[in-house]
Amino acid sequence: MSHTQSTALRLSAQRALLGAIPGDVRLIAITDDGHTIDVTVIAARALDDAAAEALSIAATEIIADFPDRLLREHCHVETGPLASENVLTHGWVYRRYE
């Protein structure tokens, strides 16, 4: 993915996620392999239906900006420490203060 695509994806994600992130979400990462955009949500506990729907709508808004891509959504519950990785390489767009 080029720098321009990466910037466009990050801006799209920021716009779509405004007001859509519930308090139980710890991390959101968005990646693009050139064919598929992956939206990964890590939550402190299972999300209720309204929270899951808000995030799914945000993912749909992101993919609408990239009509040539497929969309994959992942939601995991993790209570341990978050990974230590290069946040830009791994597409982090949101991390809750802990």
Residue 17's pLDDT is: 98
pLDDT truncated to tens, each residue of the chain (98 aa)?
555 558 999 999 999 999 999 999 999 999 999 999 999 999 999 999 999 999 999 999 999 999 999 999 999 999 999 888 767 778 899 999 98
Instruction: Give me the amino acid identity at 37.
Output: I
Cα 96 to Cα 35: distance, rounded to the nearest angstrom = 29
Confidence at residue 89, expressed as pLDDT on a 0 to 100 scale:
72
| Helix, strand or coil, per DSSP, at residue 13 | helix
Instruction: State residue 83's pLDDT score.
Output: 83
pLDDT (0 to 100) of residue 84: 80
Position 87 scores a pLDDT of: 74
Q: Residue with structure tokens 């945000």? A: 58
pLDDT at 3: 52
